[in-house]
Structure 1
Amino acid sequence: MNILTVTPNPSLDRTYEVPDLARGEVLRATGERVDPGGKGVNVSRAVAAAGHHTVAVMPLGGAPGALVAELLAGQGIDVAPVPVAGPTRSNIAVAEPDGTLTKINAPGPQLSAAESELLLDTVTEHSGRADWIACCGSLPRGLTPQWYADLVARAHAAGAKVALDTSGPSLIAALRERPDVVKPNAEELAQAVGRPLATIGDAVKAAEEVRELGAGTVLASLGADGQLLVGASGTYFASAPVALVRSNVGAGDASLAGFLAAGGEGPGALAAAVAHGAAAVQLPGSVMPTPADLDPAAVTVTDAVPLDRPLTEPAS
């Protein structure tokens, strides 16, 4: 399996574990991690941790960008960097013992028109050798919401399948180019259809509407409730128990990596997605799970979707 990832707005992520987050106080961290960040970057990290080949395409600039590339290379990931003038952003996350996470995400550099085009050209250059292209995360300043749509169109023209994990206007614009898989969470799904979601049945209906707008398959993360898969092969719901949530940073990205590495369709891939996501939330910072961290036997998959079950965290 060869998975190409695209991260238009990567980051250098620092995660601090603290006993308690007290506003206005001096906090002493009990743990610290520095990781390459960004949703597509995390997908590549999870794919590599699972033993598959991955190439990570992203704009990189300045000392933070150089460190991101160095850290990824150390994890066995091939990096296809697009040099940009502005420095790669640095993000901060503060994790509390109960799993509460406070994040500060920097805006990132503003890309020029030439840098935007070079990023698209680099993706196209590597598309032909990829089983899947995972396009993930927010767009940096300088890229319009149409950028992901252009990327999907180019990838399809090269014969590649595309999984898209973004939201808002960027998602709506890209749906017109019919991405093979989209991966919203409950809030992003509610935003896409313009109404709140209170039950799993509401999420199923919203996913069906997103398919009508152009998505081939919808893999929807419903937080602690589990995940939905709505596609041509049917509708499935899957969940797994989690003993302790340590950090949810990158858990959705690990889930997408598991889904794509398992073929990207059907209940088997959904089970792999849930196993990866459940393992990721029990690891510190944005550590990606290895096969040894997974517990596939704990995952339950069913086509008898509990439509009336209220969502633990309703989406508005």
Structure 2
Amino acid sequence: MEDVPERMRKEYLLPDMDSTFRVFAAHWRTVDQDWKYPLHKHPLFEVNLVLSGTQEMTVNRTSYIQKPGDIILLGPGDEHESRAIGRENMTYYCLHFDVDERALRELLCRNKTYFHASNSELAAAIRPPLDKLIRLTQDEGAERVESRMITLSALFELFAGISGTLSKWDHGNAVSRMSQAASQIASRLERAVDEAEEQSMSEHDVETIESIAAEIGYSMSSVNRMFTAVYGVSPRQYMSTLMLKKSKLLLMDTELTIEVISAKLGYKNIAHFSRQFKRWTGESPSSFRSRFYK
């Protein structure tokens, strides 16, 4: 009898995906003509859309005038301040987010075009999902499961619009030596987390980064500089993000005790893992698990 695989003539598969993102302080706000926000920076990406009135946004010492429909796209560490200008109130929508998808992070961090006019390619690509998010932000029932799923759908549309547009602009550009090195470092960090041994990761992560630096022939300072320039976070921060994601996935497997999970992740004991998890999330592993399984 002929084997089933030999009878197969054509097959299409979606690629495996394992990615997380976080959204912070998304808000719709109307302010008066004297409003201003002081100079600051943060480790997040930001989309800022003016809906009415006029805003002056200064990014890394360059000022941009935002009219309705104009968008500012910022990366981690970009210094910025803003103020309403003119004689009328100003309404804007602001969304902060973080993603661990390496290709998207690299595109976002490489982008240095902060201002996108209302008739720009990027604005056309991301305005529809932004409008959905604005409506959901104003929805009193936003906590409903259905609304949360619609929100997730709109966020994925937003990320797709950003990545699709930035990829077009980036097409044909030679991948720099720095980007290649950073990608190597990220791949090795991901492998190190997947193969975590039974030792304290808070002690082990620095050793891991040092060994990766030696392996690819760069100093620790060069590795930190290149990685942060390409991905917007340090290698150690990136490794912590990977560890947190793996921790959450394991905690959602109720057949595993927290003690077993602690050992799988390479911690010396459960107390050490619990302290680290609480530093990351503000809650204990058992508290996180109980929110899903009561």
TM-score, normalised to structure 1's length? 0.29
Greater helix content: 2
Larger Rg: 2
TM-score by length of structure 2 reads 0.30
**Of the two structures, which has the highest relative contact order with CA contacts closer than 8 Å and spacing of 6 or more?**
1
